Structure 1
Amino acid sequence: MQDRVSPLLLAWYDSHARDLPWRVPPGGGSADPYRVWLSEVMLQQTTTAAVAPYFRKFIDKWPDVEALAAAPEEEIMGEWAGLGYYSRARNLVACARAVAERGGFPRSERELRELPGLGAYTAAAVAAIAFGQRAVVVDANVERVVARLFAIDDPLPAARKAIRAAAETITPERRAGDFAQAMMDLGATICTARDPKCLLCPLADLCRARETGRQAELPVKPPRKPKPHRRGAAWWIERDGKVLLVTRPGKGMLGGMRALPDDGWSARRDGSGDPPMPGEWKNLGSVQHGFTHFTLELSVMALAGQASGPLPEGIWHEIGKLEDAGLPTLFAKAASRARERG
């Protein structure tokens, strides 16, 4: 089977490749490593549809890695706002500066792994797609395709070692980047998590899971654990048409982002409920937000009248221009609630 997979898949990819803003067409040669790296970082745990406008915005503003490396971190974090998983943005800044300092991206998978924030998958993807290196690229879509193709029925995450070993056996020496993207496209459009379209699949006749009608069952996922539910509060402090925004600590939830002051909630505990200073506080309602490992109910509290103590350190931002503040989604929701109810 192994020697038949790549010819069939590449022939399918030549006719069915998705048109994506960071991608070179099939057979079009190596892609710009900056665009490949930027897109792969953005695509981690995020859909293609959500990433595309952010990618275009970043490329327009910072067309190469040197431009991104020279940009203020706060500005980059602001442009990232709404894309989620903000540790990726912090790693993006660190990596851009490391690449600019060394004069460009390294070509080998091993050297790429040494850059800040580049794990096994991203390093392999850049090596294959940008530099044509043979690298085994396994994301969630590829994981699903390979588990079904080889009927690997060990539950995840234990199955990942066997999935990677199987992916190694079908990865070709030539057109490694096209093959990696073909596997991604197959998983995204044909070999989908639900209702796989086996009649359209170029590998259907080779698929061992399909032989036994088990394609929809694989890969076997562990049972989902219920997410804990946390509660916290955000404080809306308004003055002369402006609202007080703070910068969150560099490490931790939404690190380095602008936000409303809050009461110290985290993934592990509820917030204290204590306001940043004494005063009369009015409850404007609450907003709900889902993080990867927990959900949060955030009460929005507005200061009525004058503060009777020192204010938190921050900046005053025009309320009418909050869309330009780069607030993460949670605090954008809280600001919207304050403006509706205030």
Structure 2
Amino acid sequence: MITWSPSKIKAFQKALLTWYDTDGRDLPWRRDHDPYHVWVSEIMLQQTQVNTVIPYYNRFMDWFPTVTDLADAPEERLMKAWEGLGYYSRARNLQKAAKQVVEDFNGKWPRTAEELLDLAGIGPYTAGAIASIAFGEPVPAVDGNAFRVFSRLLEIDDDIAKTQTRQVFEQVIGTIIPTDRPGDFNQAIMDLGSSYMTAKNPDSENSPVKAFDQAYLDGVEDQYPVKTKKPRPVQIPYFGLVIHADDRYLMEKRPSTGLLANFWTFPLVKRETLLTGLEHPETVTDEELVTLLEHEVAETDGLKLHLTPRSGKQVTHTFTHQKWLITLMDAEWSGDLDLSYFPGEWLTASDFERLALPKVQDKMWQRVRPK
């Protein structure tokens, strides 16, 4: 790892911030230093591109203009505001943290990164971003951009897939971040990482900090950052049950914990569940699988159905560690369906416009909805 002298650090700060003052992105949450605005934008930007976030952010602020409005919002409306961004636990943690600010801090935000870590859903990066941008604390905000930028600038060989590597970068950046403009510095690093120092096809030749980019100068920037590959998501086959009567669909309310908690979905049955206990599961035919599925639904939910495969490809959706492969199965309501043991109810097509739908559910609905 390369180390910089105090004079080089000063020169880097000047080059970076001069560029940022001229060419930094004009984003709606940068027009003030309100911690609420910084916080909401940073949570939205996790796993989501800036251009996608902007309309969501603007609508969110229209619906919940203050932290108190967010704390008091009905969960259904909050989920609708978040629909399409995915990772819905982020939205739930937003509301939990908003209630903490209102109830535990009398509506006044904690002003240091260390204190901000006590709020639900706020980790080291978000705490650093809020503390530096809103309150001027000279702490780094280490995200993917910061890992990429500083690993190339200083040829840091530590594996960023390892948890302990964050401390290495925090210590290094802590010696470089200016005390007078820490928020602008962190935002400039974000902009640099999304423009000249991107993961693929960087434009380092025209970068405002080219002279400080040691990996570029040494012709090895494609080797940074060092990161071991994540294992591929595990594929999990499901059956999705499309039980319908006219414009009504029998929907299941997911449990309050786990993946897609509290959301409405078409009933889902794991293929593995049907094969558990069979002596030779590999010999089961597609027709036998349908029979097993009908038996499972009858045993578990008390629903006696005649199921037929819906034409078309499987619906697929990838979560962080799982990839769902969903075969849609049709069943028409027979008129005497007993819902005593079923954790759900009939919903109409118009209900789908009102309810927040997880992305995988929306994919299923787009295949099913009347054209």
Aligned match for 2:304, one of 248, 269, 278: 278
Question: Counterpart in 1 of 2:185?
Answer: 179
Any conservation in 1 of the 2:245–2:333 contact (CA below 8 Å)? no
| Equivalent residue pairs, number | 332
Question: Counterpart in 2 of 1:333?
Answer: 363
Of the structure 1 ranges 302-311 and 40-49, higher mean CA displacement relative to structure 2 is found in: 302-311
Any conservation in 2 of the 1:134–1:176 contact (CA below 8 Å)? yes
CA apart distance, 1:165: 1.9
Question: Counterpart in 1 of 2:343?
Answer: 313
Relative distance call for 1:315 and 1:22 in structure 2 (3 A) is: farther
Aligned match for 2:263, one of 252, 257, 262: 257
Question: Counterpart in 2 of 1:14?
Answer: 21
Structure 2: which amino acid aligns with 1:114?
D
Question: Counterpart in 1 of 2:329?
Answer: 301
Instruction: Say whether residues 1:79 and 2:105 are aligned partners.
Output: no
- Structure 2 residues not aligned, in runs of 5+: 1-7, 275-292
CA apart distance, 1:59: 0.8
Instruction: Select the structure of larger CA radius of gyration.
Output: 2
**% same residue:** 38
Q: Deviations over 1:287-318 (max 9, x none)?
A: 11111112111122232232543262334332
Question: Counterpart in 1 of 2:315?
Answer: 287
Structure 1: which amino acid aligns with 2:60?
F
Name the CA distance, whole Å, in 1 between partners of 2:330 and 2:133: 50
Q: Deviations over 1:255-310 (max 9, x none)?
A: 222322222x5xxx955554342211232243111111121111222322325432
Relative distance call for 1:315 and 1:129 in structure 2 (3 A) is: farther
Instruction: Say whether residues 1:138 and 2:142 are aligned partners.
Output: yes
Aligned match for 1:189, one of 179, 183, 195: 195
Name the CA distance, whole Å, in 2 between partners of 1:303 and 1:183: 54
Any conservation in 1 of the 2:233–2:319 contact (CA below 8 Å)? no
Q: Deviations over 1:10-35 (max 9, x none)?
A: 100001111212112xxxxx511111
Of the structure 1 ranges 67-76 and 157-166, higher mean CA displacement relative to structure 2 is found in: 157-166
Relative distance call for 1:319 and 1:69 in structure 2 (3 A) is: same
CA RMSD of aligned residues (A): 2.0
Of the structure 1 ranges 11-20 and 82-91, higher mean CA displacement relative to structure 2 is found in: 82-91
Of the structure 1 ranges 314-323 and 30-39, higher mean CA displacement relative to structure 2 is found in: 314-323
CA apart distance, 1:190: 1.0
Of the structure 1 ranges 234-243 and 106-115, higher mean CA displacement relative to structure 2 is found in: 234-243
Name the CA distance, whole Å, in 2 between partners of 1:183 and 1:171: 10
Name the CA distance, whole Å, in 2 between partners of 1:92 and 1:157: 26
The 3-state SS of whatever aligns with 1:238 is: strand
CA apart distance, 1:321: 5.0
Question: Counterpart in 2 of 1:219?
Answer: 225
The 3-state SS of whatever aligns with 2:353 is: helix
Aligned match for 1:51, one of 49, 53, 76: 53
